[in-house]
Chains A and B, each alone.
With several copies, the nearest count.
Chain A
Amino acid sequence: MLRILFFARIREELDCATLDWPWPGQAIDLDTLQEDLCLAYGAKWREVLSQDNVIRAVNQTVTNDNCALHDGDEVAFFPPVTGG
């Protein structure tokens, strides 16, 4: 299973904070997961997640590129940070 988290504006736009996504049983990478999410949830998700400035993190580390995922990984999507 993959645990998927959404934060801030993205969480609001998708109306979704967390999602438990069944492990597909075969190798999967971040881009593929994102595509699968869009196929499952429709045009709104594709629009929101394909915005230029969406940041993706795997296991609490930001990843700028696509990367392989493993069963049990935590994946997060969020907008540029504005703390401080």
Chain B
Amino acid sequence: MARLQAALLAGAATEGAIATFTGYVRTTNDKRPVHSLELEHYPGMTQRSLKNIAREAATRWPLLAASIVHRVGVLSPGEQIVWIGVAAAHRGSAFAACEYIMDFLKTAAPLWKKEKGPAGERWVETRKEDGERTQRWQEIGGR
């Protein structure tokens, strides 16, 4: 992940603005400690889905580069799950596209979280708020 981040940062360094987002495995969820998190995905479709989301963002805002990295497999609390980096000539586009990508990733990319804690395993439930955040972009439209 560090290598990809460095590549985006280096490649876009002369272009004005970079907004990034990093998501981490929480140490607790709903007040229960998290021992580990297992990320399952749909091989092939996940890559296609992330590429489509980045491409859609690039049609809405004038971007120079967008990079999405999502980890799968077993992760420990505090580890990075997802990293998004967006480079643009102006900061408004960089911020908006970064948030847009994250919102759609949460609701469209075929990835599933299973938490292991003291009470055993459980599949993480979809948060209603995530759907609402995605909905927002339909109302706001591009640029």
Binding site for B on A (CB under 8 A): 5, 7-9, 11, 53, 57, 60, 62, 76, 78-84
Closest to A55 in B: B110
Please state if B23 and A82 are interface contacts (CB–CB under 8 Å): no
CA of A60 to CA of B51 in the docked complex: distance in angstroms? 13
Chain B residues lying within 8 Å of A81, measured Cβ to Cβ, are 106-112, 126
Please state if B126 and A60 are interface contacts (CB–CB under 8 Å): no
Please state if A9 and B45 are interface contacts (CB–CB under 8 Å): no
Closest to B48 in A: A60
Chain A residues lying within 8 Å of B89, measured Cβ to Cβ, are none
Chain B residues lying within 8 Å of A57, measured Cβ to Cβ, are 42, 45, 110
Whether B35 sits at the interface, judged by CB under 8 Å, is no
B 99-143 to A, binary, CB cutoff 8 A, 1 in contact else 0: 000100111111111100000000111100000000000000000
CA of A84 to CA of B107 in the docked complex: distance in angstroms? 9
Beyond A57-B110, A81-B112, A84-B109, 8 additional pairs, beta carbon < 8 A = A60-B45, A81-B106, A82-B106, A82-B112, A83-B109, A83-B110, A83-B112, A84-B82
In B38-72, the 8 Å CB interface with A consists of: 39-42, 44-45, 48-49, 70
Cβ of A11 to closest chain B Cβ, rounded Å = 8
Please state if B111 and A82 are interface contacts (CB–CB under 8 Å): yes
Whether B81 sits at the interface, judged by CB under 8 Å, is yes
Please state if A78 and B42 are interface contacts (CB–CB under 8 Å): yes
- A7 and B40 in contact (CB under 8 A), knowing A79-B123, A82-B124? yes
CA of A5 to CA of B41 in the docked complex: distance in angstroms? 12
